[in-house]
Amino acid sequence: MPAALFPESASPGIAPDRAPEIAPDQALDIAPDRAPDRAGETAPSASVAPPRLPVGGLLALAAVVFLAVLTETLPAGLLPQMSAALRVSESQIGQLVTVYALATALTAIPLIAVTRGIPRRTLLLTLVVGFALVNVVTAVSSSYAVILVARVAGGVLAGLLWAMMAGYAMRMVAPAQAGRALAIAMAGTPLAFALGLPLGTLLGSVLGWRMIFGLIAVATALLVVWVLLAVPRFAGERAGERATLWQVFRTPGLAAILAVTLTFVLAHNVTYTYIAPLMRASGWSDRLDVVLLVFGASAIAGLGLVGVLIDRHLRPLVLWATAALAVATLVIGVAGSNPVVTIVAVGLWGMAYGGAPALLQNAPARVTGAAADVAQSMVVTVWNGAIAGGAFLGGVVLDLGGVGGLPVVAGAIALVSLALAFAARTGFAALRR
């Protein structure tokens, strides 16, 4: 959420590394039914330069996101090694990822509700230390049960982190720069998938999986220093200023944003969960590493594009992302036997998905203002529920209709997401300039 909404002092002003501070009841000025002006919609006054982005602090948040995603997903890349060492099946190691995501989905809303009054940097530092401890336990324990409990704790920490991260990044800057700030902070997600997970998997096979989790724990602990030095402090909400969960949910535009989020993430995961069999017809299943690299690199490019344009073109970007996801999945369904067409479609798919977290977290912060952390907790719950739902639905489609049904079902759901986004004018409205 923008810095304007949660000041630490009553006096507005801009320090070299701080965002503007205004009264907490000032919400972002959005134009629900008005298209952005074509002429001069982006042009700031010639005599007033925009405030400098606090890049150091935003990169610190991106590093937190990177390590959190790596903590969540790394067991998937180390299945054989962890399975052999802990004397359990590979499917049981896979459940370490499942319980993490489930804990995130189930706890985000209640925990963000009870922690709204805690100073935000204090809460952030607590979460970072918690991630370090989760990785320490994973690195040293010889008990699958103990590691499973640690993973549940990690999922709880992640639920809080995702719920507060977007708002934190957006509070560090002026409202007109909130989208760009969020894109920088969330860059850790595609980087973790495109670089962190493959590198962690490779190093795990060379150094051993315990060493990798230990190194992540050390890096996470060192991150505490960076956060202390670069990330500003923000107060929590005062008790008398807190809207109820129901009041937040009823904010105009929020339900539509959540519906778009649900359908978009559901469509993505119906296919992405089963990307290996999906690539079989084109011959890419034998080079899945290349497919994932193309997807990851395209996701980073998509996030970069969103970061440049999001503050002025949120609605067109959401429409583009949902349409691109629909086109990419349907093209794979129609021409999935052509390797060139397939890899191009994967690139388009990656670009569409790469900017989605920034788009679908920026929008609720715009419409809910001071209650943005609560709105983000709803996004976290919907997002993780859609991940699980997409994996389940994809499995049903795979069993009943074969792999050819996956992109068709995903494309149909993505078209529903596009229709919902097109209808949601308030939820994805433009900022007034």
Tokens representing 225 are 């220093």
- Is 39 domain-assigned? no
Domain check: are 358 and 382 in the same one? Answer: yes
- Is 8 domain-assigned? no
- Tell which residue, 379, 382, 271, has the closest CA to residue 333: 271
Residues forming a β-bridge with 430: 31
- Is 208 domain-assigned? yes
Per-residue pLDDT, 38: 40
Q: What is the pLDDT along the chain (433 residues), one digit of tens a residue?
A: 333 333 333 333 333 343 333 333 334 444 443 444 444 444 444 445 567 889 999 999 999 999 999 998 888 778 788 989 999 887 788 788 878 888 898 899 999 888 988 999 999 999 999 999 999 999 999 999 999 999 999 999 999 999 899 889 989 998 888 889 988 998 898 888 888 888 888 888 889 999 999 999 999 999 999 999 999 999 887 766 677 888 899 999 999 999 999 999 999 988 887 887 888 888 887 777 788 888 988 999 999 999 889 988 999 999 999 999 999 999 999 988 899 999 999 999 999 999 998 899 889 988 888 788 889 899 989 998 888 888 888 888 888 988 899 999 999 999 999 999 999 988 887 655 5
Domain check: are 111 and 228 in the same one? Answer: yes
Per-residue pLDDT, 201: 82
- Is 16 domain-assigned? no
Residue with tokens 């690139």: 347
| CATH number, domain containing residue 59 | 1.20.1250.20
Tokens representing 391 are 């994996």
Domain check: are 280 and 399 in the same one? Answer: yes
Residue 365, judged by CB atoms within 10 A of its CB (0-12, 13-18, 19+), counts as buried
How many other C-beta atoms are found inside a 10 Å radius of the C-beta of residue 105?
20
Residue 322 near residue 418 (C-beta atoms within 8 A): yes
What is the end-to-end Cα distance of the chain in Å, rounded? 18
Q: Where are the alpha helices (DSSP H) in 231-371?
A: 245-249, 254-272, 275-278, 288-309, 314-335, 339-354, 356-368
Domain check: are 257 and 148 in the same one? Answer: no
Per-residue pLDDT, 48: 55
Return the DSSP state at 40. S
- Is 203 domain-assigned? yes
Domain check: are 255 and 158 in the same one? Answer: no
- Is 144 domain-assigned? yes
- Cα separations in angstroms, 268 against 212, 218, 321, 330, 365: 29, 33, 11, 12, 23
- Is 338 domain-assigned? yes
Domain check: are 171 and 257 in the same one? Answer: no
The count of domains in the chain is 2
Per-residue pLDDT, 92: 85
Spatial CB neighbours of 231, under 8 Å, sequence gap ≥ 6: 57, 60, 61, 121, 124, 168, 172
- Is 367 domain-assigned? yes
How far apart, in whole angstroms, are the C-alpha atoms of residue 163 and residue 158? 8
Domain check: are 304 and 416 in the same one? Answer: yes
Per-residue pLDDT, 154: 94
Spatial CB neighbours of 251, under 8 Å, sequence gap ≥ 6: 367, 368, 371, 375
- In this prediction the pTM is 0.76
The range of the structural domain enclosing residue 154 comes to 53-240
Residue 211 near residue 217 (C-beta atoms within 8 A): no
Domain check: are 347 and 407 in the same one? Answer: yes
Domain boundary among 217, 240, 263: 240
Domain check: are 159 and 286 in the same one? Answer: no
Domain check: are 79 and 227 in the same one? Answer: yes
Per-residue pLDDT, 236: 80
Residue 19, judged by CB atoms within 10 A of its CB (0-12, 13-18, 19+), counts as buried
Domain check: are 236 and 317 in the same one? Answer: no
Domain check: are 162 and 293 in the same one? Answer: no
- The alpha carbon of 31 is separated from its chain's Cα centroid by a whole number of angstroms, namely 26
- The alpha carbon of 193 is separated from its chain's Cα centroid by a whole number of angstroms, namely 12
Domain boundary among 192, 218, 240: 240
Domain boundary among 216, 240, 264: 240
Per-residue pLDDT, 73: 84
